[in-house]
Homo-oligomer: A and B are copies of this chain.
């Protein structure tokens, strides 16, 4: 972690999904004192697989903050091995969801602690402490709050079956989020204490919406923080990674940065979009929204890209206060 912390007493909360969320979280962690930064992570992707509770987004953020992420795949750990999966395959077990050997060590540890009656929040804190991750990483919910993908033929896919098993190819008619999802007390307190909230460049429908849907996150974000900004996950009409552009289109939105800004418009005080869209029709669309804008390089290829973008986003949000 860089020691070039910015001069801020702002309490910053970042809502994050997987890869994009992890990268911006890592950028923020480089520039904000850990006691001032909370990352609230989507758990709508979580599922029980082969007896183990798997939390793909939490793990991607944790691995990234702990410098253990596989930057090529965007999931799992670097220097991973695959012996367990080879035995699963030998034995005709389910091999559509890859579980690396090192990754399994985390899932086993989490299963053990959950089995002792600890909450997912406490388990996540324990895992962070073991690896020296000193920012606060919070699952949005302690209880399962599974996202379901509904196709036009009314098939209901548990999220990971759509995302991984079907490689997110089935057309999406609707994303179902459970009515019963409740934010944890720690999430509510973090939002209550926050000065600014940043939506990471994560999927609006399957990463950010599940967090907003965890009652009462949406209404707290509407009412409380001094400023809320989002970073577009869409550049030149395409998602940097994953199905965000496909979902925007299939759910009837414009597949562009402007489509994202319009989708979250009632929550936002500012919006960050990529310099590649600077002179595009989407930039024109964005100026029509009456929303303060920051146009900058949002691609986070390196660790210092992440820190630079984080600093620009914090400067931008500070200017809105």
Binds B, one of A84-92, A147-155, A257-265: A84-92
Q: Could you list some 15 contacts between A and B, CB below 8 A?
A: A49-B112, A50-B52, A52-B108, A83-B102, A84-B84, A87-B109, A90-B130, A90-B131, A91-B109, A91-B127, A92-B109, A92-B126, A93-B108, A94-B112, A104-B104
One complex includes copies of this chain to the number of 2
Q: Does A193 contact B (CB under 8 A)?
A: no
Indicate the member of A81, A90, A105, A109 with the most B CB atoms within 10 Å: A105
Indicate the member of A85, A93, A107 with the most B CB atoms within 10 Å: A93
Residue of B nearest to A109 (CB): B93
Task: Report A's interface with B, CB cutoff 8 A.
Answer: 48-53, 81, 83-94, 99-109, 111-115, 126-127, 130-131
Checking B84, B93, B127 against A112 with a beta-carbon cut-off of 8 angstroms, the contacting residue is B93
> In the assembled complex, which residues on chain B have CB atoms less than 8 Å from the CB atom of A53?
51
Cβ A51 vs Cβ B115 within 8 A: yes
Checking B85, B88, B101, B127 against A81 with a beta-carbon cut-off of 8 angstroms, the contacting residue is B101
> In the assembled complex, which residues on chain B have CB atoms less than 8 Å from the CB atom of A107?
51
A272 to chain B, nearest CB (A): 35
If A51-B115, A53-B51, A83-B83 touch, whether A105 touches B130 (CB-CB below 8 Å) is no
Residue of B nearest to A102 (CB): B87
